[in-house]
Structure 1
Amino acid sequence: MKAVICYYSRHHGNTRKVLEAMAEEGAVDLVDVTTRQSVRLEEYDCIGFASGIYGFEFQKAVVEFARQYLPQGKPVFFVYTYGAAKGTGAKALTEIAGEKGCPVLGEFSCRGYDTFGPFKLMGGIAKGHPDAQDLENARSFFRRMQERLH
């Protein structure tokens, strides 16, 4: 399975840590949606989109990237980290996938260290996350997805 994950990870790099754990399980290209790089998503067997949850939603750059570049009919999956609440999770991306006839293979989420806004005043929340168990769960999720596509 040839996979790509298009992501945004800035605040504390929580999402990137999860994606790096997944990448240990197989051939995965990681594409930062904020860089201007040429990528042909139609060349992949499976496409992931990943972000932290910002204001209860996926980061807008990831949603816009999916809207613009997701090819018709490709299997997709979603990965996200969150501090306090999942919010709407991958709802916007699920809708885009539906519009493009892309089957959703699943989504993985876990807590991530968060010092945004008022959380900074109290030293942050979800300290130590993603932790070793979160990363093992991410690897396991990715292995299951690989098995589904073989």
Structure 2
Amino acid sequence: MKTAVCYYSRHHGNTRKVLDAMADEGNLDLIDVTTRQTVRLEEYDCIGFASGIYGFDVQKAVVEFARQYLPQGKSVFFVYTYGGAKGSGAKSMVEIAREKNCPVLGEFSCKGYDTFGPFKLIGGIAKGHPDTQDLENARKFYRKIQAQNPQG
């Protein structure tokens, strides 16, 4: 199965750590949504979208990227990291998938070290995350995604 994950990961690189763990499981192309590149997502069997949670939702650049580039009818999944609370998680991404008739295969989330805003004053929250168990859970999630969508 040929899979791409379109992601945004800054600050502490929590989301990228999770995606690197998933990439250990096989054919996974990582596409940073902040770089200018030619994107042809129709060539993929399955497409993931990943980000930290910012203001209770995935990063706006990921939402806009999905709105612009997600082809109709592709299987999708979502990955996100969060410091304090999941917020609405991938709600906006689920809505885009629904609009484009894309089956949602699942969501993976875990805590990630966060020093944004007031958390910086106390040295951050969710220190040490994503940890070894979080990364193993991410690998397990991606194996499940591969099993659900074996074409390619």
User: Using the alignment, how far apart are the partners of 1:90 and 1:120 within structure 2?
Assistant: 25
User: Using the alignment, how far apart are the partners of 2:14 and 2:24 within structure 1?
Assistant: 16
Q: Please state if 1:31 is matched with 2:3.
A: no
Offset at 1:8? 0.1
Offset at 1:37? 0.9
| 1:93-104 superposed matches below 5 A | 93-104=93-104
| 1:70-81 superposed matches below 5 A | 70-81=70-81
Gaps of 5+ in 1: none
Aligned to 2:65: 65
Aligned to 2:124: 124
Q: Please state if 1:17 is matched with 2:3.
A: no
Contact 2:75–2:103 (8 Å) recurs in 1 = yes
Offset at 1:136? 0.1
Percent of matched pairs sharing the same residue: 80
Offset at 1:99? 0.3
Aligned to 1:114: 114
Aligned to 1:3: 3
Aligned to 1:42: 42
User: Using the alignment, how far apart are the partners of 1:39 and 1:24 within structure 2?
Assistant: 23
Offset at 1:39? 1.6
TM-score, scaled to structure 1: 0.99
Residue-by-residue CA offset, 1:48-99 (whole Å, 9 max, x unaligned): 0000000111000000000000000000000000000000100000000000
Q: Please state if 1:90 is matched with 2:90.
A: yes
Offset at 1:122? 0.3
Gaps of 5+ in 2: none
> Post-superposition, which runs of at least 4 consecutive aligned residues in structure 1 deviate over 6 A?
none
Q: Secondary structure at the match of 1:137?
A: helix
TM-score, scaled to structure 2: 0.98
May I ask how many residue pairs the two structures share in their alignment?
A: 150
Contact 2:39–2:69 (8 Å) recurs in 1 = no
